[in-house]
Chains A and B, each alone.
Chain A
């Protein structure tokens, strides 16, 4: 079902290629492969810095079964650890909480600092003796997971083998360097999530392309027509779409969001929407950005975590506009749900052959398929 040979057609040019075979959407064995070769082998998004805003804030995250712990330390830095005590493998933190002093394992109370160092090992040498020659604390700190924060998204590379984030995403960082400036989360009204019965990749694929806009998002036709969009494709890295006619949301009183400072003219009416492989979808506009983390809960179950950011703190933004912007985006993303769930159902059709791409319109989607296939083949080669 998942023979490597099946991916050769995916790796052809878009005009000749087929899409990823059904197995990549419905076969638990391939899902397990993708967990390791795609999601753990690259820089995947697992959370947002705004969820741990203060020193000592800790948030556990289950990333495809991998227990992770996000912690903001005394220096304000975000750390990601395996959420597992080095002693007996107990889960350290079960619920988001404020760590006031040490991270204490609830089992035998081994304690760790916010920076992951093993602080004490109570009674480890017998009652009242907290030291032992064979317990070397400097070797038993929390296991750190490679992490990088960009645009408030916490990315991790679980297997530790990917190129550094800045290298792996150099092209995108350069492309969007004008947005390397402080952003402010819009608060509770700028945060929502969608539970979608689909494989996580279908949400990426749908996000990449503008082909579906006239049919799935007819409300955009009045000002954002198909011909106003362009493809974004960087083979081996990222893909998406751009628009030339972004129009700022305006309140009844004529108020708009403040712009990010120093943007070039391109962004006056331009906006871009890019899939940051594997599982983060981002959008940039003159007056707001957003990030969607696709949490691949299960083979056909994905949670979309959407967070929207602005150039100024929410208390400085026009009344009601944050809510209106979230409502607008939520309507768009909800319109996509039947599509990604429908494609998931469609892939139960055993005669489906991965699908025929439009050479003119599906390049960004094929780019993602090509990237997944490349990662899978590389992983299979390593595992062989």
Chain B
């Protein structure tokens, strides 16, 4: 698993402290993108999961895309109603 960069780590901690679900989801999704570039599948799915949970809790439309990405990795089941 790749390490979370220190600046990202600080941003995540700040977002967690504020309970900012939108920012958390965005930051974790960014981390997942970086891990994808590093071809570290476990890290990708870890960060996608974190992003997905924040999106679900916050009611973000991005939850649908995050769900689909996790499904493509075989790490999640389809939540069809998120697409509605």
Residues of A within 8 A of B (CB): 56, 100-102, 104, 109, 111, 119-120, 122-123, 125, 127-131, 137
Contact = CB atoms under 8 A, between A and B. Distances in A.
Interface string B38-49: 000111111111
Contacts of B56: 101-102, 104, 111, 119-120
A130 B42 CA distance: 12
A58 B49 CA distance: 25
22 contacts: A56-B59, A100-B57, A100-B58, A100-B59, A101-B55, A101-B57, A101-B58, A102-B59, A109-B53, A111-B56, A120-B76, A120-B79, A122-B49, A127-B45, A128-B48, A128-B73, A128-B75, A130-B49, A130-B75, A130-B76, A130-B77, A131-B75
A258 B56 CA distance: 45
Nearest to B49: A122
B49 A123 contact: yes
Given A130-B76, A131-B77, A101 B42 contact: no
B12 interface: no
B60 interface: yes
List 7 tightest A-B contacts by C-beta distance, closest first. A128-B45, A101-B59, A100-B59, A128-B46, A102-B56, A104-B57, A130-B76
Contacts of A122: 49-50, 52-53
Nearest to B1: A127
A129 B57 CA distance: 18
A97 B47 CA distance: 27
Contacts of A128: 41-49, 73, 75
Interface in B19-59: 21, 41-50, 52-53, 55-59
B76 to A, nearest CB: 5
Given A104-B53, A120-B56, A128-B44, 18 more contacts: A56-B59, A100-B21, A100-B58, A100-B59, A101-B55, A104-B56, A111-B57, A119-B79, A120-B76, A120-B79, A122-B50, A127-B1, A128-B42, A128-B47, A128-B73, A130-B75, A130-B76, A131-B75
Contacts, number: 63
Given A127-B1, A128-B75, A102 B45 contact: no
A127 B47 CA distance: 9
| B interface residue count range (under 10 / 10 to 19 / 20 to 34 / 35 or more) | 20 to 34
A369 to B, nearest CB: 49
B48 A101 contact: no
Contacts of A130: 49, 52, 70, 75-77
A127 B46 contact: yes
B2 to A, nearest CB: 12
A244 to B, nearest CB: 53
A349 B46 CA distance: 65
Contacts of A127: 1, 42, 45-46
A234 to B, nearest CB: 45
B16 to A, nearest CB: 12
A327 B73 CA distance: 63
A130 B78 CA distance: 11
Contacts of B50: 122
Contacts of B57: 100-102, 104, 111
B77 to A, nearest CB: 6
Most A CB within 10 A of own CB, among B49, B50, B55, B73 = B49
Interface string B63-76: 10000001001011
Given A101-B58, A101-B63, A119-B79, A129 B53 contact: no
Nearest to B41: A128
Nearest to A137: B77
A131 B42 CA distance: 14
Contacts of B60: 101
A130 B77 CA distance: 8
Most A CB within 10 A of own CB, among B21, B42, B76, B79 = B76
Nearest to A129: B75
Most A CB within 10 A of own CB, among B47, B55, B60, B75 = B75
A128 B43 CA distance: 7
Contacts of B52: 120, 122, 130
